[in-house]
Amino acid sequence: MARRGHNEGSIYKRDDGRWAGVLSVDGGRKFVYGKTRQEAQRKMLAALRDLEAGLPIVSEKQTLEQFLCSWLEMIRPTMEESTWKRHREYCELHIIPRLGRCKLAALTPQLVQELYSERLSSGLASTTVNHLHDTLHKALERAMRLA
């Protein structure tokens, strides 16, 4: 098998049986994992495409808080300042305190529904919870496109 070129990363089998792909990113390394060599290679190629397109590489360890902070900066130039501030408020006051530490990959509909139920029972208006839902939905929709 031929050697890979510069900035193409490498793939190897770990002691635990999983396959790992490694990329050099901004002076650090980005790891992707898969059950098979092909799966690790697919994830590595997707990360390389994102890197070349200037998109952030979404980590399996990335928390919802980390993603929301980067998402807020990403959308800021695309909307009115007042709209952006409202999204930031929903994130900082409601979403991050309750779900911020949750890994993005481990976020479940049940956790999100618990957030909504908790906010409704604490006296938040249903319209406000709907706006909160819209903010989280937009953010997670972007996360899905980046994955």
What is the chain's mean pLDDT, rounded?
Answer: 86
Tell me the percentage of the chain whose pLDDT exceeds 90: 54
Which residues fall within 8 angstroms of residue 59, CB to CB, at 6 or more apart? 30
Within a domain: residue 114? yes
Count of domains for the chain: 2
Distances (CA, A) of 31 to 28, 40, 48: 10, 9, 12
What does the pLDDT read at residue 87? 96
Residues 87 and 138 in one domain: yes
Starting at the edge strand found earlier in the chain, the sheet holding 10-13 runs 10-13, 19-25, 28-34
Residues 79 and 36 in one domain: no
Q: Which domain holds residue 99?
A: 64-146
Q: Looking at residue 114, which CATH number applies to its domain?
A: 1.10.150.130
Residues 26 and 83 in one domain: no
Mean of pLDDT values over 20-39: 83
Within a domain: residue 101? yes
pLDDT tens figures, 74-114: 999 999 999 999 999 999 999 999 999 999 888 899 999 99
In sequence order, what are the beta bridge partners of 63? 103
Question: Which of the 8 DSSP states describes residue 106?
Answer: G
Residues 69 and 29 in one domain: no
Within a domain: residue 17? yes
Residues 23 and 86 in one domain: no
pLDDT of 3 above 70:
no
